[in-house]
């Protein structure tokens, strides 16, 4: 079938995909968005598509910037600073386009915050510019790029690039190139004072409630949700949840109005990086057949690394998480008396909320035989916890997709999760699915009693070694790779292109 937008393009032909993002692992990562922004483009490239990931050349990316070639100058215009766009070519993988604009992106610290944890003062301007550049490239409005590469689709991610579909409407009135916005977490919306709209000279219609106005503020995410041709989120259950008041963060009405264009595609994991049979960050490598010995060696190493004694009657539960109310960390802290009474242990790696941090550290100081806590970001320890814990806790209040529950299944470490979002879509509960199909334990609600009941269930099952081992090995056999999800995105892009 000939796609409507071009007589020379056939359905199934490789696509040119412009993937705009504020983070991309391993170079920039504050959470799941960074992982997805590397793994999905990689999977799409693996299917033969030409994927260009557009990301700012932040101050911390000097080494990466040094690898960029083919610099395209970006002249100052309409009050925006001059910049340049460099290409990092990675044969067989996706290419990177680095947006180098020292006037906006040179700050020290992370992509959104300075080294003291304060939002960068000019975030509104930085990410409006990133989105504008994405829209201009997608629209073919940059002659030096358009003569060698034209996007078939523009894929944006979360609020930092969500203005791009709106910019695209302004730049490309004929709307040649379809746009997709993926919501990785609806709670982060990119809200700025309404005055920003004037300062950025945004079209006046954007400042209305039909545009990007949200309770008196300017919402970058809302602009994207209004203007994108398709909205996706990172699991089918979260796609349903965000249309309800309880999960909609004030945007549920808009999402219901656009539900015909909203779908959920479950994230995959980087199956090469998170593979216990090849993982060099853990103490002993193992596959499903070697699960018992592998678990034993890694559990010993984890206890040693975290200063926990061995020989407990109960289970060693692991946690790797941002310390935030979203993640239900307070439920875990409130369950510590139960955990200790049942002679279980808890190994936590995380950073974030200062109060949660203090509560965890106080518990570790008071109960050193049962609780160990490491504050910080530590990739090696994260892998060791996945491999060395008996079970993994993730009682998130909401979870758009979540990755750790998939990693833990891959490592033969059954997750205990709240049945929300991607957790509901990727863990099969011991009771609901039955002992022959389960891969973990699913709490019906995010409460302390539900968490304790799920952990008690895990303890009970663990007392039957054959049933427990089968549960662990079943999780290890699950396919959480990106291939199926990447194909679902391609089908979505193809559908949008065919409609043009
Ligand atoms: P979110 O994006 O909401 O933080 P996800 O589960 O989707 O949660 O992804 C979190 C990612 O960050 C995972 O790869 C997880 O292993 C990693 N991670 C989170 N906290 C830490 C930490 N303290 N140290 C190492 N890795 C971490």
Ligand 1 mutation target, pool 40, 404, 425, most atoms within 8 A of CB: 404
Binding-site residues, ligand 1, Cβ < 6 A = 31-32, 35, 320-322, 349-351, 377-379, 382, 401-404
The H-assigned helical ranges of 70-202 are: 102-105, 123-138, 143-146, 158-161, 164-171, 195-199
Q: From the CA of 408, how far away is ligand 1's center (Å)?
A: 12
Q: From the CA of 30, how far away is ligand 1's center (Å)?
A: 8
pLDDT on residue 173? 66
Q: From the CA of 310, how far away is ligand 1's center (Å)?
A: 27
Q: From the CA of 359, how far away is ligand 1's center (Å)?
A: 20
Ligand 1 mutation target, pool 183, 279, 319, 320, most atoms within 8 A of CB: 320
pLDDT on residue 11? 72
Q: Which domains does the chain have, with CATH numbers?
A: 2-268+483-498 (3.40.50.2000), 291-476 (3.40.50.2000)
Partner residues linked to 28 by β-bridges: 24
Ligand 1 mutation target, pool 266, 282, 377, most atoms within 8 A of CB: 377
Ligand 1 mutation target, pool 24, 30, 31, 157, most atoms within 8 A of CB: 31
Encoding tokens for residue 205?
């219609």
User: What letter would DSSP give residue 14?
Assistant: P
Q: From the CA of 23, how far away is ligand 1's center (Å)?
A: 14
Q: Alpha-carbon Rg of the chain, whole angstroms? A: 23
How far is the first Cα of the chain from the last one, in angstroms, to the nearest whole number?
A: 13
**Measured distance CA(265)–CA(390) in Å, rounded:** 29
Q: From the CA of 345, how far away is ligand 1's center (Å)?
A: 21
Q: From the CA of 440, how far away is ligand 1's center (Å)?
A: 19
**Measured distance CA(238)–CA(247) in Å, rounded:** 8
List the chain residues with pLDDT less than 70.
Answer: 1-9, 173-175
Partner residues linked to 417 by β-bridges: 394, 442
**Measured distance CA(96)–CA(38) in Å, rounded:** 10
pLDDT on residue 99? 98
pLDDT on residue 272? 87
For 7, half-sphere exposure in the C-beta direction (CA atoms, 13 angstrom radius) is 0
């Amino acid at each position: 079938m000939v796609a409507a937008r071009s007589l020379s393009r056939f359905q199934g032909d490789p696509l040119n995909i412009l993937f705009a993002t504020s983070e991309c692992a391993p170079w920039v990562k504050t959470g799941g968005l960074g992982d997805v922004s590397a793994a999905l483009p990689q999977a799409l490239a693996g299917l033969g598509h030409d994927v260009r990931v557009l990301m700012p050349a932040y101050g911390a990316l000097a080494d990466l910037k040094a690898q960029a070639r083919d610099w395209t100058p970006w002249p100052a215009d309409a009050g925006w600073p001059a910049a340049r766009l460099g290409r990092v070519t990675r044969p067989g993988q996706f290419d990177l386009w680095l947006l180098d604009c020292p006037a906006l992106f040179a700050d020290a610290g992370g992509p959104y915050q300075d080294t003291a944890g304060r939002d960068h003062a000019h975030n509104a301007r930085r990410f409006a510019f990133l989105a504008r550049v994405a829209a201009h490239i997608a629209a073919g409005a940059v002659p030096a790029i358009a003569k060698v590469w034209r996007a078939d689709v523009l894929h944006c991610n979360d609020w930092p690039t969500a203005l791009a579909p709106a910019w695209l409407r302004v730049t490309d009135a004929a709307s040649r190139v379809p746009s997709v916005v993926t919501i990785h977490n609806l709670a982060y919306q990119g809200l700025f004072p309404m005055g920003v709209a004037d300062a950025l000279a945004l079209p006046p219609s954007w400042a209305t409630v039909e545009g990007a106005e949200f309770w008196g503020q300017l919402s970058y995410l809302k602009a994207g949700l209004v203007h994108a041709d398709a909205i996706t989120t990172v699991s089918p259950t979260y796609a349903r949840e965000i249309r309800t008041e309880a999960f909609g963060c004030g945007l549920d009405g808009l999402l219901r109005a656009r539900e015909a264009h909203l779908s959920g595609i479950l994230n995959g994991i980087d199956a090469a990086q998170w593979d216990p049979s090849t993982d060099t960050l853990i103490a002993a490598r193992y596959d499903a057949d070697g699960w018992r010995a592998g678990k034993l060696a890694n559990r010993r190493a984890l206890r040693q690394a975290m200063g926990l004694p061995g020989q407990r009657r109960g289970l060693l539960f692991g946690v790797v998480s941002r310390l935030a109310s979203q993640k239900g960390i307070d439920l875990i802290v409130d369950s510590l008396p139960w955990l200790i009474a049942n002679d279980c242990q808890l190994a936590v790696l995380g950073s974030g909320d200062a109060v949660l941090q203090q509560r965890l550290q106080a518990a570790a100081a008071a109960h050193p035989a049962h609780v160990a806590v490491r504050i910080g970001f530590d990739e090696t320890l994260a892998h060791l916890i996945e491999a060395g814990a008996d079970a993994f806790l993730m009682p998130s209040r909401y979870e758009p997709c979540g990755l750790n529950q998939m990693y833990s299944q891959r490592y033969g470490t059954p997750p205990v999760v709240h049945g929300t979002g991607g957790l509901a879509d990727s863990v099969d509960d011991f009771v609901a699915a039955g002992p022959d199909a389960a891969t973990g334990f699913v709490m019906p609600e995010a409460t302390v009693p539900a968490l304790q009941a799920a952990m008690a269930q895990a303890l009970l099952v663990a007392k039957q070694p054959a049933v427990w081992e089968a549960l662990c090995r079943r999780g290890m056999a699950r396919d959480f790779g990106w291939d199926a999800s990447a194909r679902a995105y391609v089908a979505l892009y193809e559908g949008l292109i065919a409609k043009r």
